[in-house]
Structure 1
Amino acid sequence: MKKYLSWLIDFGVSLLCWLVFYALSSLGFLLVFVIDGKKNRKRAVGFFHPYTNDGGGGERVLWCAVKAIQEEYPNLDCVIYTGDHDASPQSLMDRAIDRFGVKLLFTPQVVHLHKRKWIEEGTYPHFTMIGQSLGSLYLSWEALSKFTPLFYVDTSGYAFTYPLAQMFGCKVVCYTHYPTISSDMVSRVRERSSMYNNNSLIAQSIWLSRCKVIYYTFFSCMYGIVGSHAHLAMVNSSWTQSHIEKLWRIPNRIKRVYPPCDTSGLQELPLERPIDIPKIISVAQFRPEKAHTLQLEAFSLAIRKLDKDSRRPKLQFVGSCRNEADEERLQKLKHKAVELKVEKDVEFHKNLMYRDLVRLLGGAIAGIHSMTDEHFGISVVEYMAAGAIPIAHNSAGPKMDIVLEEDGKQTGFLALNVEEYADAILKLLGMPDAERLEMAGATRKRGARFSEKRFYDDFKDAIHPVFSHTLR
């Protein structure tokens, strides 16, 4: 009981401090805006993306968005707000091409942020979600104080910064990969389901679960209010769109823009590949929600169920590590492979260059994905474009937008638990080569629907009304 009381006290004090800070800072910034008006704003587009080294789909969206604006509005400077202190204009330009194959037209400007700790998970042992969200205010304060652009573009999902950007006179545009809070999250807490965002201690307690439902409900209201300040909100999938429309209640300002996937380059890979050792690839950051352990357990179970004469597969984990927590998670995964006695059948590839990722995709017959409620699933599309048949989680983006039939043909497998993933692996391994190639062909055709070209076209169409009206 003392621990529970301590949590409530921590929450109350933290919330009170942040509300006082928010009120005072809002008044201060409003005063600054009234006095200085529009003269402090630069004819530029500022991209709020504190982690420019995360290596995930969100970073790909950032660089493609920068390129799209450089193509459409070459007279506007593009400025990156980043907390990575070693980032320079040239290094970021090089990173875009080396890691994602995106060639920018001009080097972007860089504004370094020194307050990024206020949005890091470790800063908030409890009530992390609201702590990070309110902490983003402090970080955006630093960003906008150093450089105030005409357009403020958030590509990382920090909706609490939107009212502040408006106070600085910016037009607020965002690309939302997933809602910070959703009705699905609230339902899991109400049903007392244990997951990465609802630990077992809370799930086992009726009283704590009720408190968390109240907390989530309160946060949902706040999230809806701040999100409604966006002049344009682009979302990456049908699932994200439905949640954002319910929460922000600005349906006329919400546009679905599927994220950019390198389908053209990957489609050049041959569908036929050596299968003396069938390779299954897993591309995802080493984060808890990606559920790598489930993949490893399913792979281990599939191997145990294999016939003696069957070809023994190899599982290749490819991902990036943002911080020490991700590094620890990777090490635990390696230990788990040893525990399951599949360490000889598993490879780990950390922070690969894009060309090396393409090489691995070109040798895989399948790609595995296991995040629950993955907002979209760029890696799933990359599997498909490369001709690797996806085995994805039966929810959200993969279920609603991606792993659907193409010309009446199956394009992959959907699964929910270890047993279903293992069964899908076994079905794929037991499939005749001709049948597998036929499915891979349908898979590749389906993946072509989510090309970088489509992203560029849809992104430019979405921002045109806001940009053209402002730039008159």
Structure 2
Amino acid sequence: MGVVRVLFWVLTSLSLSFVWSFIQTIIKGKKNRKRAVAFFHPYTNDGGGGERVLWCAVKAIQEENPNLDCVIYTGDHDSSPETLMLRAIDRFGVKLLHPPQVVHLYRRKWIEESTYPRFTMIGQSLGSVYLSWEALSKFTPQFYFDTSGYAFTYPLARMFGCKVICYTHYPTISSDMVSRVWKRSSMYNNDALIAKSVWLSRCKVIYYTLFSWMYGFVGSCAHLVMVNSSWTQSHIEKLWKIPERTKKVYPPCDTAGLQELPLEMSNRNHNFISVAQFRPEKAHTLQLEAFAVALSKVDADSPSLKLQFVGSCRNKEDEDRLQKLKDKAVDLNIENNVEFYKNLMYRDLVRLLGGAIAGLHSMVDEHFGISVVEYMAAGAIPIAHNSAGPKMDIVLDEDGCQTGFLASDADEYANAILQLLKMPERQRLDMATAARRRASKFSEERFYEDFKNAIHPILSVS
């Protein structure tokens, strides 16, 4: 009994010590809070649309508030103010006014997917709180800006006295995800073993439902929410229930530079381009299968067709995924018609876009689809998945003219490819011209205007 009593007092003392240390850190952070905007973006080398938003957001704040320091919380230890400034212009063509400050994070493993083989969402979400604790303990800003979707960090940032701003690319959980689990559909976020089991599927629905409630609570702690599309806006407003603090700001796309590329076929080969990070949700395998079907149906005397994959790899898992795609091309016997480009410089991406007749995009429920807009601006006809951002915001008729194709499975993608190949040049030019006009609605200039209008009230009153 005495041992139990001693153990109780030891645990109590440790708990009280932890709580006191927690309170002291928050008090110290509040006291030393700097007038700065700190961007919580642990992966500053992902090369995707989220990173483009980060650099454009930094540039916009530098232009709008020159006296307000911009700080980047990053887990990439080789990043420095100078290398990040160079990366912004080399990879995305975004020229910052001056280098941002950098705060290095050393606990990024706690938000990595590989750390949580099961209960990945809740694991990464709680891990992000731990990583954010490291960030805020090292540097406490007046404005905490999340550009990576880690909503569980918002209550902690508020405890440190920060104004919380976020740019949300997609909800961590959505009713669509819950619906797929309920229907027992196997996808990248629903293991086949779970999909085959009624009992496991019901347990996962309960887990998702509880997580949705938690996600709604933490998200509601944001002072300002910017979302990137109509689809994301509808889900976030439903989950976070703060529509008065939620603004739709389309992500920045380099439409101006890409629109200078010629539309004429003489400057384009029969190349199809696919721009996306090598991640499971991007469904690259579907594109390979569709391209194989299309190749089997083209005339023997048709020009040689190429499918060019352009994307970035964040880690070993992405590298392995890329290798599996190369192996899949061999299995489909189309390896001579497929090319892979990893971690390409922006200028090289523009060159490939300028030589493509069309662009493929196959992610289900893509929240927006910057690459789809880039296709359209460059004059490459988009063939995108018939859902979410591409369906609701992007691949819409412009002045009564079709701007691209929407598809849902390999056969539909293949049919769109074949239809485009058989299209008269005049009709293709008309579609490309209409698509280019549509793409101008998502320009960087439009982003800067809408972004500054959204943040001005919260920055000016603080």
TM-score by length of 2: 0.95
Instruction: Report the secondary structure of 2:461's partner residue.
Output: helix
CA deviation string 1:75-122 (max 9, x = no partner): 011000000000000000000000000000010000000000000011
Shift of 1:274: 3.5
Instruction: Report the secondary structure of 2:364's partner residue.
Output: coil
Paired residue for 1:186, among 160, 178, 181?
A: 178
Instruction: Report the secondary structure of 2:340's partner residue.
Output: strand
Matched, 1:262 2:276: no
Amino acid paired to 1:145: S
- In structure 2, do the counterparts of structure 1 residues 276 and 311 end up closer, same or farther at CA, with 3 Å as the change threshold? farther
- In structure 2, do the counterparts of structure 1 residues 26 and 420 end up closer, same or farther at CA, with 3 Å as the change threshold? farther
Matches of 1:377 and 1:468 in 2, distance apart? 32
Instruction: Report the secondary structure of 2:128's partner residue.
Output: helix
Q: In the alignment, what sits opposite 2:114?
A: 122
Matched, 1:88 2:77: no
Matched, 1:463 2:458: no
Alignment of 1:131-142 (within 5 A): 131-142=123-134
Q: In the alignment, what sits opposite 2:387?
A: 395
Q: In the alignment, what sits opposite 2:419?
A: 427
Q: In the alignment, what sits opposite 1:73?
A: 65
Q: In the alignment, what sits opposite 2:440?
A: 448
Paired residue for 1:368, among 356, 360, 365?
A: 360
Matches of 2:47 and 2:20 in 1, distance apart? 37
Alignment of 1:133-282 (within 5 A): 133-274=125-266, 277-282=269-274
CA deviation string 1:394-428 (max 9, x = no partner): 00000000000001000000000000000000000
Instruction: Report the secondary structure of 1:293's partner residue.
Output: helix
CA RMSD of aligned residues (A): 1.6
Amino acid paired to 1:167: M
Matches of 2:18 and 2:185 in 1, distance apart? 38
Asked whether the equivalents of residues 179 and 243 of structure 1 are also in contact (C-alpha less than 8 Å), the reply is yes
Shift of 1:199: 1.1
Matched, 1:327 2:319: yes
CA deviation string 1:357-413 (max 9, x = no partner): 000000001000000000000000000000000000000000000000001000000
Amino acid paired to 1:304: S
Q: In the alignment, what sits opposite 1:107?
A: 99
Matched, 1:295 2:287: yes
Asked whether the equivalents of residues 37 and 142 of structure 2 are also in contact (C-alpha less than 8 Å), the reply is yes
In the comparison of the two structures, how many residue pairs are matched?
Answer: 449
Amino acid paired to 2:171: P
Asked whether the equivalents of residues 43 and 150 of structure 1 are also in contact (C-alpha less than 8 Å), the reply is yes
What runs of 5+ residues in structure 1 fail to find an aligned partner? 1-20
Asked whether the equivalents of residues 276 and 311 of structure 1 are also in contact (C-alpha less than 8 Å), the reply is no
Amino acid paired to 1:255: K
Q: In the alignment, what sits opposite 1:7?
A: none
- In structure 2, do the counterparts of structure 1 residues 272 and 160 end up closer, same or farther at CA, with 3 Å as the change threshold? same
Amino acid paired to 2:407: A
Matched, 1:42 2:34: yes
What runs of 5+ residues in structure 2 fail to find an aligned partner? 1-13
Matched, 1:359 2:351: yes
Matches of 2:432 and 2:17 in 1, distance apart? 58
Q: In the alignment, what sits opposite 1:64?
A: 56
- In structure 2, do the counterparts of structure 1 residues 23 and 402 end up closer, same or farther at CA, with 3 Å as the change threshold? farther
Paired residue for 1:377, among 348, 365, 369?
A: 369
Asked whether the equivalents of residues 196 and 288 of structure 1 are also in contact (C-alpha less than 8 Å), the reply is yes
Matches of 1:396 and 1:49 in 2, distance apart? 24
Asked whether the equivalents of residues 59 and 96 of structure 2 are also in contact (C-alpha less than 8 Å), the reply is yes
Matches of 1:468 and 1:213 in 2, distance apart? 43
Which segments of structure 1 move beyond 3 Å, counting only runs of 4 or more?
21-33, 35-38, 273-277
Paired residue for 2:90, among 90, 94, 98?
A: 98
Shift of 1:434: 1.2
- In structure 2, do the counterparts of structure 1 residues 37 and 54 end up closer, same or farther at CA, with 3 Å as the change threshold? closer
Instruction: Report the secondary structure of 2:356's partner residue.
Output: coil
Matches of 1:219 and 1:174 in 2, distance apart? 20
Shift of 1:38: 3.7
Amino acid paired to 1:401: D
Matches of 1:275 and 1:454 in 2, distance apart? 29
Asked whether the equivalents of residues 29 and 167 of structure 1 are also in contact (C-alpha less than 8 Å), the reply is no
Matches of 1:357 and 1:303 in 2, distance apart? 24
CA deviation string 1:33-82 (max 9, x = no partner): 3x447421001100000000000000000000000000000001100000
Q: In the alignment, what sits opposite 1:13?
A: none
Matches of 1:396 and 1:465 in 2, distance apart? 30
Instruction: Report the secondary structure of 1:366's partner residue.
Output: strand
- In structure 2, do the counterparts of structure 1 residues 85 and 22 end up closer, same or farther at CA, with 3 Å as the change threshold? farther
Q: In the alignment, what sits opposite 1:436?
A: 428
Shift of 1:312: 2.9
Asked whether the equivalents of residues 212 and 239 of structure 2 are also in contact (C-alpha less than 8 Å), the reply is yes
Q: In the alignment, what sits opposite 2:3?
A: none
Shift of 1:23: 12
Matches of 1:350 and 1:294 in 2, distance apart? 19
Q: In the alignment, what sits opposite 1:316?
A: 308
Amino acid paired to 1:227: G
